[in-house]
Amino acid sequence: MARHRQMQSYKTRSQGSAETLARGLGWFSLVLGAAELFGAKSMASWLGVERQEGLIRAYGAREVATGIGILSQRDPTAWVWGRVAGDALDLATLGNALRDRHAHHDRVALAFGAVAGVTVLDVVCANALTGQNAQPARRFDYSDRSGLPRPPNQMRGAARDFEVPRDMRIPDALRPYRQPQRIGRPQPSM
């Protein structure tokens, strides 16, 4: 029989500073993403990586999606971790550009520094959100709540007396045949 747990004292989580930081990062993602999407060409030429214009645009789309995610989610934790992953991708790409002979190395280094700075913020924020969500590790064990009078294995098929109504039967053609089907001559329906 089910035991009824009575309601316990209840508090909503306070709107902490991690959430505020997350919102800020969400807006940052949106603005940066839009800049990358619509200014991919000038950004690529500023960095001296003209061939990467498409990639910059794709990264812009990613930023916009992350921004929307952070701003629209009740719990933005996963999305802020998504930003961290995105940062890693950005850093890797910029790192590659540093090895590109044609790139403006001083500008790429500047961009690298900026992304690294934001990465620190992202990690701090994601960590704080994760810690905050970790609830006191109370386990609820419902392994005694079967709702059945006997162990499940003994209850299997106890309702086979039930006849499935005609409109809910699977089409006969899809039913496993008891005898192998003769090609070209359908078995009569069962």
DSSP string of 20-34, one letter each residue: HHHHHHHHHHHHHHH
| Residue numbers 10-49 binding another protein by CB under 8 A | 10, 12
Binding another protein by CB under 8 A: which of 31, 89, 116, 148? 148
Choice between 156 and 185, CB closer to another protein:
156
Distance CA 126, CA 135 (A): 16
The answer to whether 181 contacts another protein (rule: CB under 8 A) is no
Helix (H) or strand (E) holding 76: none
Dihedral angle, C-alpha 160, 162, 167, 172, nearest 10 °: 30
Who's near 129: CB < 8 A, 6+ residues apart?
18, 19, 22, 75, 76, 77, 80
Listed in sequence order, the residues at least 6 apart from 93 whose beta carbon sits closer than 8 Å to its beta carbon are 52, 55, 59
Our finding on whether 185 is near another protein (CB under 8 A) is no
User: Comparing C-alpha atoms, which of 87, 84, 86, 103 is closest to residue 43?
Assistant: 103
Choose, by CB under 8 A, the member of 15, 99, 134, 168 that binds another protein.
168
CB of 103 to another protein, least distance (A): 30
Give the range of 35-43, 62-70, 88-96, 182-190 binding another protein by CB under 8 A: 62-70
**Which span (33-41, 49-57, 78-86, 116-124) binds another protein, by CB under 8 A?**
78-86
Binding site for another protein (CB under 8 A): 1-2, 4-8, 10, 12, 65, 68-69, 71-73, 78-79, 81-82, 85, 135, 138-149, 152-153, 155-160, 162, 164-165, 167-171, 174-176
